[in-house]
Amino acid sequence: MTVVIEVLAGIVFFSLIILSVLLHECGHFIPAKIFGVKVTEFFAGFGPKIWSFTRGETEYGFKWIPLGGYVRLVGMYPATVHHHHGNRLTKLADEARAAEAEDITGADRGRLFSDKPVWQRLIIMSGGILTNLLLAFLLFWAVFGIHGRAAQTTTVAAVTPCVHSSQISGPCPSGDRRAPAAEAGVQAGDRIVSFNGRQVDSWSQLQEFIRDNGDGEARLGVKRHGDAVSLMPTRTLVTEVPDLNNPGRTVEAGYLGVSPTMVVVHSGPGDTVSQMWTMSKQSLSALARLPVLTWNVASDMVTGKARDANSPMSIVGASRVAGDVAGNSQLTMGDKIATGASLLGGLNLFLFWFNVVPLPPMDGGHIAGAIYEACKRGLFKLAGKPDPGPADTAMMLPVAWTIGALMLVMGLILVVADVVSPVKIF
């Protein structure tokens, strides 16, 4: 029965991902229709067609490779661009324009994407990524407000006695030293209120103070049974600690040796935005290292090494994780729904940042092209020069094809890894 639940939950979660993709495309499609742009295709997925239907001038449907989706806006490349020098790149751009021109009739003039003012193009291209951001916000706000989220407090849950070993009594083993917090006399239940004379308001702030302190002196003030206590000065030490923006990596930073008490808090939109920014820094760190992280996944898969729980996943892997959550008998129904919603929110937040990248074929590449064109035309106007015309975005086709091929390869690697060596969170 558990297997059936896991499979059904995985299918439901996969369907919700596809729904997120379709809503992203609606973010492009709806303003494009409002501004009168000709839209001929609206698809979830890439590659061979599974099923479709046509309404008006637009074909809607699904394709076999579920790595995204697209709407086909006619006239993405400006039709009339004159190059002073002919080379392979300009020839490629001209061929792309010629291929697109086959779908353009005389009645379409004025309805092409490239015919529209820059501000309309910016709205059309940013609509998708803003939809992902809004979905992420609504999902996280619902989870934090209704179910609550685990929050770290400045009250100490446990004190690490030795830096490297788990020994809880007696002297530390040879070569190991007492943890700084233990040397200072910190006790479980103490609420840390100051660090080196600076007021401590949150656990994240305390973490920052400790890490930035390196191996410097540390003077702690705590509240113990309601009384203010100044502890014996100690020195933090530099050691390997998890990277806050990439939990799969470690960095050298100051270390104290305390762990926080966890509580469940219910919060509103302000805290949701704050938490999303923290998650965004982690997403950006992962995005910057995505090719390397994908290579590590492939290497571990080939060598048989256990999959890192923090490694990137495809939507297949995310669906499997959702299935594992649904099949876990130790979680309440509320915990399962909240975890699934958070997983979907995190995916939408990552898609937002992924598509913000200012390179084609991502939405950010088209946004960057429109901004470049507006700036160029503005500068020419200020200089009293003739209008330079639209920016020739077709010249970026080699970049788009290279990145597209890289995305396809990485996507296939992650899909295979998620089948052969899936991420385990339990």
Q: pLDDT tens-digit profile of 371-424? A: 998 998 899 889 888 888 787 787 888 888 899 899 989 999 999 999 998 888
pLDDT of residue 68: 80
pLDDT of residue 203: 94
How many Å is the Cα radius of gyration of the chain?
A: 27
pLDDT of residue 174: 75
| 235 contacts 215 by C-beta, under 8 angstroms | yes
Q: Which of 25, 100, 183, 373 is catalytic?
A: 25
pLDDT of residue 334: 92
273: its two tokens: 């935005």
Residue 218 is classified by DSSP as E
Q: Which residues of 145-171 are buried (b: 16+ CB within 10 A; e: fewer)?
A: eebebebbebbbeebbbbbeeeeeeee
Active site residue 25: yes
pLDDT of residue 88: 73
Q: Which residues of the chain have pLDDT under 50?
A: none
pLDDT of residue 86: 58
Q: pLDDT tens across 356-380, in order?
A: 999 888 999 999 989 998 998 899 8
pLDDT of residue 80: 62
Helix (H) or strand (E) holding 79: none
What pTM was estimated for this model as a whole? 0.88
- Among 158, 163, 186, residue whose Cα is nearest residue 174: 163
